[in-house]
Structure 1
Amino acid sequence: MKDNKFQREALQVKEAQAKIIKYANPLESEDVSLDECCGRYLAEKVIAPHPFPAFNRSSMDGYAIIAGDTRNCVNGQVVWLEIVDNIPCGAVPAVDITPGTAARIMTGAQVPVGADAVVMLEVTERREEEGKTYVGIRKKLEANSNITPQGFELSQGDLVLPTGRLISAGDIAVLAAFGLHTVKVYRRPKVAIFATGTELLEVHEPLEPGKIRNSNSPMLEALVKETGGVSVMLGAIVDDLELARSKVQMALETYDFVITTGGVSVGDYDIMGDLVREQSGNMLFNKVTMRPGSVTTAAVRGGKLLLALSGNPGACFVGFQLFARPVISLMQSASKPFLPEWSATLGTDYKRVNNFTRFVRARLEIKDGSLFAYPALIDESSVTVTIKDSDCLIVVPPEEKGLSAGDKVTVIKLPG
């Protein structure tokens, strides 16, 4: 598909994504402390340096015994075993267990050599006799009862965490359990953000006739942080091609990735579109068969990616999710750079028709065990407020001439 005015070839979303992620190369790795690695991506796989747990561990408070000593515990018969040791958590057993003996043991403590079962405290009794202490057991036990064996969770040499994994609280627990107090992760990409438009005011400035506040840049800043990048805010610039050119060049030389918002449509003052077309050989695409955000543009300068998003808030938001998010994720070698796609049932009619694939802001709801998606009542490209109420995007292919409640749809699940 060609736009004769600018000789723009419109790419399908998947084609445009494939073009841009070719340049999303992983950054170098760095070592960070365990308390700083949450939300980062692993730069090397983690292999278990020892079995986990590292020893046979009691799973309850009670007595470590030999299961065979309880074979006569039938019809109320009590077996008495001599208590020869007391093992709190963190202690090393002092005595091996032999037939006829037992050791008092706490939950999580190391099971002594010779013992193959732990009897729970609540089903035992004690007595003193001739200076010795005995435990009485009424219940027959099988071998390995109430013992978590060495290596039950992981054996030495097992893969614990793969490269490219996003580190979460559970991962940190495992890393800490293996004593890994420093973790090798990929560096966070530094992402420069600026907006174009003479009409833009800073957030703190009072409204003026014909002006609007720059809401896209703070939104992009939050989205970059959410994706694991480091946001570098370069403010807003007026519609001046020379100023935009110098600012873009500086950003490309300084930062890992540059995102702009505004100035990519077909108006007289859409300077980002003009700037990218100056060196069309480095342009990846400047039109995508999507609504909102068909004017989304991407280029490469000196090996660095420049992504120019629409100035319309809805289009800017969708463009980030489809193109910027996978780039920032892949720069950290994320194993799953794209947002997940789910199947849902449409909760209300959606009758809007378009020649391009439409990504409709929507909210998800579970009813009677099924997932429903409800389109935003106002889904215009220029609308801001429905972004906050959306947790997914409904994908409406161009061949659909309207959808009805109850139809099955594909949704892209947004983070959070």
Structure 2
Amino acid sequence: MKTDGSNGARGNEKESRFNRRAVKVEEAQRRTLAAADGLSLGSELVPLRAAGGRRLAQTVVATSDWPPFARSGLDGYAVRAADIAEASPEHPATLRVIGAVAAGGLALAAVEKGTAVRIMTGAAVPEGADAVVMLEQTAEAMLECGSPAVLIKHAAAAGQHIAPRGEEFRLGGALAVPGTLVRPGHVALLGTFGYAEVAVRKRPRIAVFATGSELLPVGAALAPGRIRDSNSWMVAAMIEQSGADPIMLGSLPDEPEAVEAALERAWMDADLIVTTGGVSVGDYDVMADLFRSIKKGTGFQPKETLGYAKTDPTEAGGTLAVPHRTGTEVLFDRVAMRPGSPTSAAVIAGKLLFALSGNPGACFVGFELFVRPALLRIQGVTESLPQRVRAKLLTAVDKPCPHERFVRTRLISQADGSLHADPLAFSKSSMMASIAEAEALAVIPSGPRGAEAGALIEVILIP
């Protein structure tokens, strides 16, 4: 039996690599969002033309009733409904035309008994009128005295073809709440109510880098034993899709010094950090080593945040000053899920760090389950977890697994409104062929049997 200290140290280190307690997906998400809740970046005013695709920072309200006046819904004549109550094609009602009004103008006279005003779509309905008759139900005429008239061939109920004041919005009514994604329809509303500038959440800046000495830049030629770093670019696209800005730091070798240098730069420039690779239990998994050191209190810490505690309670007399690291903790370093169980997250000096798997499928799943919800929460989205719906599984996923599985799948809508989940091929953690086609993640419960064809399961929708 070997009893030398060096072998014992290596044995303890190997044991600690495997000593990572898995937390449930829901618990990992809860911890992630709790950390994200304290990371709001504030707001900024942007021109209305730049507001699309941003998240609102405050409630926007109607600055007037809308419509602000009763307006015509079509071209025709503004009349009193009582004057044409008996009108028909055989016996039309004859009304004297006292004027015309176009959109943006006002009628010069009120509509009184026996009179009508020619009106255009969107124009303000004249005082006295309570209905509009469409042009196709009228005919021009002339009275004996030479005054213009109109023949109304159909009766109309009061309010016909008139949009009353305040029909859509009332003064002070909410148009949208904080965290709302500003879509083109919102832009139209904001313009309607005079919002030339809009208060939106600042876009989070997300540092992205991959670890792995085998990685090459995307533009490089392949070499024996090497692959291109595609994960960083996939993550960057998902970050942009989530309303944030990626900062690309490239790929790094499996060297702690290189990783810590990248983290130092990322901590200075970014609001959140996402890495891929190096989270498993291999000899060269630098991110796993980093998380272990954070647990021990010796992990990376930005230089600007190092202070000094008054005493070290572990020292005799309690007089030795030691570095004091504020707001640094591991949230989780293993999740009870497949793929991506080594997915890890920590808070370093108040900023979130996500370490995703280097396997493309696991990286993709880890982002959807943890990173995207955090980015949305930082931007003020209260309900930031991915949407789950029920679907019928088309083909069995019967491989047993001790953890929940998240299987890439396409969705098929049925005529009766139900959904079918069709698991995609090439869905192993290391495979990427099915990522581009994935519309959802089928949630397969843990257990010895998986899920049979026809089973009703939950699926997580992918944006």
Q: Does TM, scored on the shorter chain, surpass 0.5?
A: yes
Match of 1:336 in 2: 383
Match of 2:239 in 1: 224
CA contact (8 A) 2:393 2:454 kept: yes
Q: Which amino acid aligns with 2:238?
A: L
Q: Which amino acid aligns with 1:272?
A: M
CA distance in structure 2 between the partners assigned to 1:238 and 1:188 by the alignment: 30
What displacement does 1:72 show? Answer: 3.4
Selected match of 1:202 from 191, 209, 217: 217
Match of 2:443 in 1: 395
CA contact (8 A) 1:165 1:335 kept: no
Q: Which amino acid aligns with 2:271?
A: D
Q: Which amino acid aligns with 1:380?
A: K
Q: Which amino acid aligns with 2:16?
A: K
Aligned-partner SS, 2:334? coil
CA distance in structure 2 between the partners assigned to 1:196 and 1:356 by the alignment: 26
Match of 1:63 in 2: 77
Match of 2:163 in 1: 148
Deviations 1:387-408 (A, max 9, x none): 0111100001103613222110
| Residue 120 (structure 1) aligned with residue 168 (structure 2) | no
What displacement does 1:231 show? Answer: 0.5
Q: Which amino acid aligns with 2:90?
A: G
Deviations 1:241-280 (A, max 9, x none): 1111121122123210000000010000000110121121
CA distance in structure 2 between the partners assigned to 1:309 and 1:381 by the alignment: 12
Match of 2:430 in 1: 382
> Number of residues paired by the alignment?
413
Match of 2:115 in 1: 101
Deviations 1:58-99 (A, max 9, x none): 111110011111133268322211111111112122211111
Q: TM-score, normalised by structure 2?
A: 0.87
CA contact (8 A) 2:218 2:228 kept: yes
CA distance in structure 1 between the partners assigned to 2:148 and 2:235 by the alignment: 70
CA contact (8 A) 1:264 1:271 kept: yes
What displacement does 1:4 show? Answer: 5.2
Match of 1:254 in 2: 269
Which is higher, the Rg of structure 1 or of structure 2? 2
Q: Where do residues 68-107 of structure 1 align in structure 2 (5 Å cutoff)?
A: 68-73=82-87, 76-107=90-121
Selected match of 2:403 from 342, 356, 380: 356
CA distance in structure 1 between the partners assigned to 2:42 and 2:182 by the alignment: 17
Match of 2:457 in 1: 409
Match of 2:54 in 1: 40
Q: Percent identity?
A: 42
Deviations 1:37-71 (A, max 9, x none): 11111100011110111110111111001111113
Aligned-partner SS, 2:434? helix
Unpaired runs of 5+ residues, structure 1, are: none
Match of 1:21 in 2: 33
Match of 1:12 in 2: 24
CA RMSD of aligned residues (A): 1.4
CA distance in structure 2 between the partners assigned to 1:286 and 1:71 by the alignment: 77
What displacement does 1:178 show? Answer: 1.1
CA distance in structure 2 between the partners assigned to 1:36 and 1:413 by the alignment: 28
Deviations 1:104-128 (A, max 9, x none): 0111111111100001111111112
Match of 1:237 in 2: 252
Q: Which amino acid aligns with 2:98?
A: V
What displacement does 1:162 show? Answer: 1.0
Aligned-partner SS, 1:386? coil
Q: Which amino acid aligns with 1:115?
A: A
Aligned-partner SS, 2:148? strand
CA distance in structure 2 between the partners assigned to 1:186 and 1:172 by the alignment: 16
